[in-house]
Amino acid sequence: MSQTADPPTYRVVFQPSGRQGVVPAGTNLLDAARRLGVEIEAICSGKQTCGKCQVTVEEGSFLKHGVTSAAAHLTPPDGREAHYFEKHPPLPGRRLACACEVLGDVLISVPEESQARKQVVRKAATERAITVDPAIRLCYVEVEPPTLEHQLGDWDRIAAELATRFGLHNVRLDPVLLPSVQGIVRAGDWKVTATVWQEREVLRLQPGYAEEAYGLAVDIGTTTIAMHLCDLRTGAVLATASRMNPQVAYGEDLMSRVSYCDNRADGLATLHDAIIAALNELAAEAADEAGINPDAITEIVLVGNSVMHHILLNISPAELGQSPFGPAISDAVDIKARDLGLKLAAGAQAHVLPLEAGHVGADNVAVILAEEPDKAPADEVWLIVDVGTNGELLLGNRERLFSASSPTGPAFEGAQIRHGMRAAPGAIERVRVDPETLDVRFKVIARDEWSDAWDAGTQEHGDAATAEARRGRKRAALLGQGPILAAGICGSGIIEAVAELFMAGVITPDGRFAPEITAPRLIWQGAKAEFVLAWPHESSTGREIVVTSDDVRNIQLGKAALYSGARLLMERMGVERVDRVLLAGAFGSYIDARHAMVLGMIPDCDLARVATVGNSAGDGARMALLNRGLREEARRLARWTQYIGIALEPRFQETFVEAMPLPHATDPYPHLAGVLAAAGAHRQARGVADVALARNRRRLAHTAG
């Protein structure tokens, strides 16, 4: 007996990771990649069906002398690979990694689209990449049909292949899929693609080879629901849908929802059914927009404040409404979508992010995921204000992070505002008031030009508008004919309007319309007044769109809640100022940092370091949808963040009252005075400076005393 010689070994180098190693001759290139920790996508795991494992074979100077082509160091394409490339013509130099065996040293490039963990860029003020590493994975398998001698079940054959080819042992089939197994394997001619969740359960079976894997990320706000439909393979957002939370009909703020549940036998069921119905409709809408079927959606990740979270899960929010405000569960919840009443894939999973406390919910955890204050340098203090009907605050850095909840009211989402509306086409989202003429120009959602550039048409002022002209415009707007006109004011619009009116002196620091001002747009009704933003000819309703005294008061209450919350957290942390402010919220378009600051929504900060980041909670939900590791991170962050019940702080009432004036009456704000002066609002800048001066005097006196 002669001794068998060890096979020769060769060096394989993968780019761009640079990972390399030595493998025995004949090693499959996909296996070599796995062994070296290079993650290459492969739905079919070597069946030469999916084409996902394409790599480019590079020439390289490291190759052994005399070899002119690295390609010769791999087995040549066989019939199956050739057949694949015949149907899907490749770029030059491309091979299917699963079809190559190593016969010599090779240098391999793994193109972006073949990498298993792709990255997608989150488009926000702070661009950040999300690594696509979802909880689900597609696995294509081919099984032998049963025979009279081998009557093993169809599922068992699939399970065996998942174990052998994908190393997925102990994967179970969601048992509600059992009725469909035999039809699907036969429809796919004994080939199926399994959607495997968390390496342990098959949520969906598709006949034949398939690449369909979709998920939803949802932010359930008190007033607004926002949903993204994503491709879980690429991370792409395929559709976005939003609508008013239908629970608004049963109470505008959280406490009135809690009361509704408490006071009626069917209260919880009514609110739960309402949100589930809305989610089903939104999912259908998003799926329709993306051209897919809702039953192709296998995952949904949901965030919301604690009350929304409890009602979603059919849990009474009663305990959240009374001291000590304990939730039923803080931890993340994995639940079958069907057990919630959601109409997605039969086996679809729902994941609800964890809560931080009774009044700081999963939406805030999502904000942390999206904005990463837990990664802020230790010598900086970040403040994140999530503006919603319930405002949530985060303050801190990588060493400590405090959270709080603040009852903002729905004004920033356009509710409890006379002409407020959801961020939808026609909503006024930008406002400019000329401090000299007090004239106004504005922009509405879904129309590019500012209102002063709109085709003038007949200039109708006030009562000059004829009933007929109004009806004509209204009909045209309803029919989608003609340009989009103003229909109301969304959150960012009302913020800008009040801030601009304050800077122009139309609104005084105490929030009243300045009595000395007369202007065609300022209409007095006793002690109160309305300021016209849009004339009837600029509106699709054919009536003026105005900002009222009550609107200003509601904005003041909301911003005072946010501001005083932030101040109390700063006191708790023992800091005098913040180094960075992020304004998050689903109020429409991104609000202007300057207007937020002028309005006094936030403490003083270098304007260059104040950013509005849109719906961070929704972004965080999307990140948790696309990356399973972030779900574990969210659980850790929810426990780590320290909740402060600001309403219980002794100085809450005092701070709140101090925060009511515009911009506010507490801060030494050096930046804010500059901002106002730069905007030409010199009187207001002086006011701010006076306040700061008075405060500093008090402080000096206090220190001296």
Q: Which is nearer to a second copy, 351 or 473 (CB)?
A: 351
Site for a second copy in 443-502 (CB under 8 A): none
DSSP code for 196: E
Q: Which is nearer to a second copy, 269 or 678 (CB)?
A: 269
363 in contact with a second copy (CB under 8 A)? no
What is the rounded distance in angstroms from the CA atom of residue 228 to the CA atom of residue 294? 13
323 in contact with a second copy (CB under 8 A)? yes
The pattern of x and - marking residues 330 through 359 that bind a second copy according to CB under 8 A reads xx-xxxx--x---------------x-xxx
Quick one: which of 18, 66, 79, 179 contacts a second copy (CB under 8 A)? 179
Quick one: which of 313, 367, 621, 679 contacts a second copy (CB under 8 A)? 313
Q: Are 641 and 635 in contact (CB under 8 A)?
A: no
Q: How far is the CB of 345 from a second copy (least distance, A)?
A: 15
3 state SS of 613: strand
What is the rounded distance in angstroms from the CA atom of residue 233 to the CA atom of residue 114? 11
What contacts 313, CB < 8 A, 6 or more positions away? Answer: 328, 329, 333, 335, 340, 352
Token pair listed for 478: 């309803």
Identify the helix (H) or strand (E) that includes residue 614: strand 610-614
Applying CB under 8 A, the span of 45-53, 112-120, 139-147, 674-682 interacting with a second copy comes to 139-147
Q: Which is nearer to a second copy, 155 or 382 (CB)?
A: 155
407 in contact with a second copy (CB under 8 A)? no
The pattern of x and - marking residues 192 through 231 that bind a second copy according to CB under 8 A reads ----------------------------------------
Q: Which is nearer to a second copy, 204 or 359 (CB)?
A: 359
305 in contact with a second copy (CB under 8 A)? no
What is the rounded distance in angstroms from the CA atom of residue 276 to the CA atom of residue 271? 9
Dihedral over Cα of 453, 456, 460, 466: its sign: negative
Q: How far is the CB of 323 from a second copy (least distance, A)?
A: 7
What is the rounded distance in angstroms from the CA atom of residue 562 to the CA atom of residue 553? 14
Q: Which is nearer to a second copy, 148 or 701 (CB)?
A: 148
What is the rounded distance in angstroms from the CA atom of residue 391 to the CA atom of residue 561? 8
316 in contact with a second copy (CB under 8 A)? yes
3 state SS of 454: coil
Q: Are 192 and 206 in contact (CB under 8 A)?
A: yes
144 in contact with a second copy (CB under 8 A)? no
152 in contact with a second copy (CB under 8 A)? yes
Spatial strand order of the sheet with 610-614 comes to: 610-614, 580-585, 382-387, 391-396, 401-406, 642-643
Q: How far is the CB of 310 from a second copy (least distance, A)?
A: 9
What contacts 212, CB < 8 A, 6 or more positions away? Answer: 206, 292, 296
188 in contact with a second copy (CB under 8 A)? no
169 in contact with a second copy (CB under 8 A)? no
Quick one: which of 81, 154, 413, 429 contacts a second copy (CB under 8 A)? 154
643 in contact with a second copy (CB under 8 A)? yes
159 in contact with a second copy (CB under 8 A)? yes
Please report how the helices 154-166 and 178-187 are oriented relative to each other, as an axis angle in degrees rounded to 10. Answer: 70
653 in contact with a second copy (CB under 8 A)? no
Strand intervals (E) in 150-207: 172-173, 191-197, 201-207
Applying CB under 8 A, the span of 148-156, 219-227, 386-394, 443-451 interacting with a second copy comes to 148-156
The pattern of x and - marking residues 33 through 72 that bind a second copy according to CB under 8 A reads ----------------------------------------
Applying CB under 8 A, the span of 65-73, 291-299, 488-496, 640-648 interacting with a second copy comes to 640-648
327 in contact with a second copy (CB under 8 A)? yes
Other CB atoms within 10 A of residue 231 CB: 20
163 in contact with a second copy (CB under 8 A)? no
SS3 readout for 41-96: CCCCCCCCCCCCCEEEEECCCCCCCCCCCHHHHECCCCHHHHHHHHHCCCCCCEEE
Can you give the C-alpha Rg of the chain in angstroms?
A: 30
Query: Which residues of this chain interact with a second copy, rule CB under 8 A?
Result: 145-149, 151-156, 159, 172-173, 175-176, 178-179, 181-182, 313-316, 318-319, 323-331, 333-336, 339, 355, 357-359, 643, 645, 648
